[in-house]
A and B are shown apart, each in its own frame.
Chain A
Amino acid sequence: MKSETGTQAASPAIQRQIHLPFSKAWEISLKSIRIRLLRSVITAAGVCLGIAFYSSVKTSGLFPMSGDPHDPAVIAAGHRQEWLAIMALLVCAVGITNSMLMAVTERFREIGTMKCLGALNRFIVTLFFIEAGLMGLVASVLGWFSGWFIVCVVHLVTEGPHVFTAHVLSASLKQAVISTTIGVVITLLAAIPPAVNAARMPPAVALRTTV
């Protein structure tokens, strides 16, 4: 500052912008999800279905297969299931990437506006991180549960309760954790790069975009 007479009142020195606490971002993100509920539900449904499919394939694999485990046909069926599970995740990943790109692009203007009001890039990314993380979490838990539940009911009806061994139950729990983690990670991986990209744009560029 080269103000010789020192009238700081008129031109206060420029400081660094403060980092907002996580709780503020949390508050704004929740509001954003709630108010765009329909859109959030549709986005989350994509993750939910993908994870439900993955979970059902994985849960089926937990139950002892009928037939000789050394029979090549049975082994091939097992491999096919693995493939199905991977395909389910890929489809889910592509779908969610598309949704998240749309969700971020749709909000370029909002991002530009927030930056005009003093938001740091980091804060913008945090908002999308929370939104995507929360949606991913809820959708994956629901997805895992529905896939697991349906397959269990089918086995219960066709084979009886004796198939639910301690092994099946503990492995199910493990799969719940794995499925949820995969779902959340896919959602975050899909959301964060476009969010970072949008946050880095000069506000003028973000504000000019019309979708």
Chain B
Amino acid sequence: MTAASKPANEYVVRTKGLVKEFTMGGETLRALNGVDLDIIRGEYISIMGPSGSGKSTLFNAIGGLDKPSSGSVFINDVDMAQLDASELAYLRCHTIGYIFQSYNLIPVMTALENVTLPTIFAGMPTDEGIERGIEMLNKVGLGHRLHHRPSELSGGQQQRVAIARSLANRPSIVLADEPTGNLDLKTGTEIIELLRELNKNEGVTIISATHDYKMVDVSDRVVWIRDGKVAKIEERADLDIKVGEIEGEH
């Protein structure tokens, strides 16, 4: 999984002609309108767009949390539509980690129990799961809050627990939907830096839907979406030039 030995299947996620329609009261709304996207293994990619542009819908489709109306999602070259419920659960458990705006920790469980839960679903022995949970919580800087419940933690700390949980089964992809949406500027920046660090150190692909411009700085690529379509894709190099231009103007 290191950058040096680049695997042959370079793309970890590919979407082809992704369409998602919602029907409400006889009216059909196209939240996704033909999204083609290739995400490179190990990159940090941000999906940027205004509220209502379809970011969460795309997040759900890539994460196998909702079925698209048409088009396909390939994870590691496997067409998600071909998977049955049990294989989909395996994929969610082992291959993808999820981070949400509202953290979505299980309120009745402690930080450690929350992080250990995916290892239980993966069938890992209890001792090993706890060990892994402690390791992950240490990694996100919460080694001293193992036995606190979510209600006893700050927003930033809860999001750190959620990040630790998303990594518990060492997924190849971490999907984040507005991970800084509920956080103040400083805490949000810390979370973004943590995600970047994990992306670099663990080689995990990070796909983050956001309208937080702080995210642009750390991204390898930024996908701009508007009205359910990819408006443009910017590479790191383009982004650097743009930042340079802006600085040059002042």
Contact = CB atoms under 8 A, between A and B. Distances in A.
Interface of A: 1-5, 7, 9-12, 14-18, 20, 24, 31-32, 35-36, 109-110, 112-121, 123, 202-205, 207
A10 B93 contact: no
What bracket does the count of chain B residues touching chain A fall in?
35 or more
Contact of A116 (B12, B87, B92, B109): B92
Contacts of B65: 112, 116, 202-204, 207
Contacts of B98: 116-117
B238 to A, nearest CB: 27
Contacts of B92: 115-118, 203
A14 B74 CA distance: 12
Interface in B49-84: 60, 63, 65-67, 76-78, 83
B118 interface: yes
Interface in B1-46: 1, 7-9, 12, 41
Interface in B174-220: none
Contacts of A18: 122-123
Interface of B: 1, 7-9, 12, 41, 60, 63, 65-67, 76-78, 83, 85-87, 89-95, 98, 100, 104-109, 117-118, 120-123, 165, 169, 172
Contact of B94 (A4, A115, A118, A203): A118
B147 to A, nearest CB: 13
B16 to A, nearest CB: 15
Given A11-B78, A112-B104, A117-B93, 18 more contacts: A1-B77, A3-B8, A14-B78, A16-B86, A17-B86, A20-B120, A36-B108, A116-B65, A117-B117, A117-B165, A118-B90, A118-B121, A119-B121, A202-B67, A203-B60, A203-B65, A204-B60, A207-B65
